[in-house]
């Protein structure tokens, strides 16, 4: 029996060559979906599906701020939000990524290294604020993200790459009636939903493909912060 918990989070197992999961954790691939694309379903696609729709309850026509739009989950969040007719504002840390996120459907792009994203977002929304913030950066952006929300807006977070600890203004929280959702991983249903979206034509953005014997190259690529989309390791 496998140890309980999430593989690579609670349980060691990074870059395994072989796995033998229980049948209940195996999902048939949707017709027409390649193995390369399907590899993005259990993490990038399903994580976003769970964040935006199970937790934040994103609705058609709403405005959403997607942080790190060039990241693996950021690219997916842009596509999923645009698919239902949302207005998408996204942040990037490099001008070289601007055209890429616009091609995915982003309506407004902010280089957070040049401009304060909270100020720019308030300008874009004419001080109204956004309905949803898709947050996964952590301490560096959390409080600024709250400032971009409209009254009663929702913030959903799944990560803390810039640090797991922050201090928030509780008066701001309750006066503005913000709703904050923590989102961890995804369900089997989310993975199946993700595969269906791929079969319908919503394909992941692939930055690099490397063989498993050269996984160190993939890790260096991630550390460079020049990645746009997902890195795929293959056998």
Residues of the chain with pLDDT under 50: 1
Measured CA angle at 56 (ends 50, 58), to 5 deg = 95
pLDDT at 1: 46
Which residues fall within 8 angstroms of residue 3, CB to CB, at 6 or more apart?
10, 11
Q: What integer pLDDT is reported at residue 16 of this predicted model?
A: 76
CATH architecture, domain 34-206 = Alpha-Beta Complex (3.90)
**What is the distance of C-alpha 19 from the center of its chain?**
26
* pLDDT for 11: 78
Strand partners, 132: 64, 154
**Rounded to whole angstroms, how far apart are CA atoms 223 and 219?**
6
Helix (H) or strand (E) holding 63: strand 63-66
Q: Which residues contact 49 (CB under 8 A, 6 or more apart)?
A: 80, 186, 190, 193, 194, 197
- In angstroms, the Cα distances linking 130 to 104, 116, 121, 137 are 20, 16, 8, 18
Global confidence as pTM = 0.94
- In angstroms, rounded to a whole number, what is the distance separating the alpha carbons of residues 231 and 235? 14
Nearest-angstrom CA–CA distance, 57 and 132: 9
Q: Which residues of 36-51 are buried (b: 16+ CB within 10 A; e: fewer)?
A: ebbbbbbbbbbbbbbb
Alpha helices in the chain (DSSP H): 35-38, 46-49, 72-83, 98-104, 117-124, 142-148, 170-175, 188-199, 215-224
Output the pLDDT for position 15: 74
- Rounded to whole angstroms, the Cα distance separating 227 from 205 reads 10
Looking up tokens 């912060």 gives 225
Q: Rounded to the nearest 5°, which phi and psi values hold at 132?
A: -140, 140
Question: What is the model's pLDDT at position 4?
Answer: 62
Residue from 80, 75, 65 nearest 97 by CA: 75
DSSP one-letter code for 71: S
Give residue limits of the domains in the chain. 34-206
């Amino acid at each position: 029996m496998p140890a309980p918990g999430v593989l690579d989070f609670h349980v060691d197992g990074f870059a395994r060559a072989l796995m033998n999961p229980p049948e209940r954790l195996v999902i048939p691939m949707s017709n027409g979906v390649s193995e390369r694309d399907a590899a993005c379903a259990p993490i990038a696609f399903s994580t976003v599906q769970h964040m935006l729709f199970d937790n934040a309850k994103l609705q058609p026509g709403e405005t959403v701020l997607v942080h790190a739009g060039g990241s693996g989950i950021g690219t997916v969040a842009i596509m999923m939000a645009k698919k239902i007719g949302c207005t998408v504002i996204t942040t990037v840390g490099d001008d070289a990524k601007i055209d890429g996120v616009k091609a995915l459907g982003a309506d407004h792009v902010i280089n957070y290294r040049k401009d304060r994203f909270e100020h720019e977002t308030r300008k874009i929304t004419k001080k109204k604020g956004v309905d949803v913030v898709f947050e996964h950066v952590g301490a560096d952006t959390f409080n600024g993200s709250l400032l971009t929300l409209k009254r009663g807006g929702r913030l959903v977070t799944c990560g803390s790459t810039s640090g797991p600890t922050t201090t928030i203004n509780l008066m701001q929280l309750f006066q503005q009636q913000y709703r904050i959702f923590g989102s961890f991983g995804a369900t089997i249903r989310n993975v199946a939903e993700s595969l269906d979206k791929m079969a319908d034509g919503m394909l992941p953005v692939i930055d690099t493909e490397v063989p498993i014997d050269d996984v160190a190259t993939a890790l260096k690529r991630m550390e460079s912060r020049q990645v746009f989309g997902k890195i795929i390791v293959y056998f």
